[in-house]
Amino acid sequence: MSEIDCEQVLQLVWQFLDGEVEEVRYREIEAHLAECANCEGRVSFERRLRTLIETKCQEGPVPVELKRRLFKFLEG
């Protein structure tokens, strides 16, 4: 098993997908994903979710009501 554990992989998933982790850490995560089906499934889901969001965001302007609800949710 690699030197990185599941908790660390899941904490770094977005940085990993954005290519914002150091090369050594990136390779550790890739090695972990090759050995851990649970983490690989989670990262695969996040990757598909990101692709879906990017695709849908290119379809046109975001409705005002959706923006309002999103900002209200993010404000807590």
**CB of 17 within 8 A of CB of 46?**
yes
In this predicted model, what pLDDT tens digit does every residue of 39-57 receive, in sequence order? 999 999 999 998 988 887 7
Across the chain, mean pLDDT equals 89
Statement: residue 1 has pLDDT above 50: no
> Domain spans of the chain?
6-75
* 30: its two tokens: 């890739």
CA distance 31 to 26: 9
The identity of residue 67, as a single letter, is K
Quick count: other Cβ atoms within 10 Å of Cβ 12?
Answer: 18
Residue whose entry in the numeric block shows the structure tokens 């990017």: 54
pTM of the model: 0.69
CATH class of 6-75: mainly alpha
**Which amino acid is it at 58?**
Q
Provide mean pLDDT across the span 58-66.
81
